[in-house]
Structure 1
């Protein structure tokens, strides 16, 4: 099932029993987006780095504002993604590597999963290769009412930012 398409990014069906699905705890949020890959030799870890190490300035500004606001509520506000266009091919990721505010908890030939947790939520990011496309899936286990309210407020921003960032990676030939 394909969903709404923005640029060269499509919403796709969420896998049934994948790595993230096995860690879902109600209530939770989950989405999955797919985009074409031109650098077919890249590993999932290289794809994750190629997508998320370049953020538009407006996204960086929104994340800085978000960090100032929610830091006082106990949300994770660690390092953000960095803009590193010079790393080509991008560095591969292995279990234990730090990636912005997350750590890699799973890596194999088909998928890399990064994770972070605070008192309000658990956040997972999966990047996998499927045929000639990359699938980026986000899952957030919501542990508190504050976490659920936060997710409800940022969902429209997540919807837009995820699609723009992945589209930019395709458009720029980074993936």
Structure 2
């Protein structure tokens, strides 16, 4: 089964915490998958570990193009893989950790970005991955207009990497 069939686009899913992150909120979307086997730490690593060659190539192209405009493309000086607030999962900083939700993200001069990974405990599509963006300037608006279609393709594929078909445990 392909990753695009085991993840799906949904209505934007906001929790109390994620609904307060950005005002105004300029872009948001949610993709979901099913995983009752792994912890949110493990799921976040499954999702944000780049595996597909085409996704890696698109990120490399993006980094080459935006470096001309002074956007961040290098590993941050505070990078550490520790799963704690301030650590990183893939290339995203950890802003908050709870039993039900992680908040990761990055800030740059053109936009602020957060992703919430939330476990709803539903029987299917329990893992909700919500992207939230606040645009800082006109360049951010142009950037999101160009990136949004690629974002949707890439995120759907990456969320599918978090899928596990193990049945939920009875509580």
Same fold (TM over 0.5): yes
Deviations 1:125-149 (A, max 9, x none): 1111111421111111101100011
Q: Is the 8 A contact 1:78 1:100 kept in 2?
A: no
Structure 2: 5+ residue stretches without partners: 76-80, 167-171
TM-score, normalisation: structure 1: 0.79
Q: Is the 8 A contact 1:45 1:94 kept in 2?
A: no
* Residue correspondences, number: 156
Relative to structure 1, the CA distance from residue 51 to residue 121 in structure 2 (aligned partners, 3 Å threshold; closer, same or farther) is same
After TM superposition, the structure 1 = structure 2 runs for residues 88-99 of structure 1, keeping only pairs within 5 Å, are 93-99=83-89
Q: Is the 8 A contact 2:25 2:132 kept in 1?
A: no
**4+ long deviations beyond 3 Å:** none
Relative to structure 1, the CA distance from residue 31 to residue 48 in structure 2 (aligned partners, 3 Å threshold; closer, same or farther) is same
TM-score, normalisation: structure 2: 0.81
Selected match of 2:131 from 127, 138, 142: 138
Residue 54 of structure 2 corresponds to residue 64 of structure 1 = no
Selected match of 1:76 from 72, 83, 89: 72
Q: Is the 8 A contact 1:115 1:123 kept in 2?
A: yes
Deviations 1:96-155 (A, max 9, x none): 112233210100000011121111100111111111421111111101100011001011
After TM superposition, the structure 1 = structure 2 runs for residues 5-44 of structure 1, keeping only pairs within 5 Å, are 6-26=4-24, 28-39=26-37, 42-44=38-40
Structure 1: 5+ residue stretches without partners: 1-5, 80-90
Q: Which has the higher contact order (CA 8 A, sep 6+)?
A: 2
CA distance in 1, matches of 2:15, 2:34: 23
CA distance in 2, matches of 1:169, 1:43: 11
Shift of 1:8: 1.8
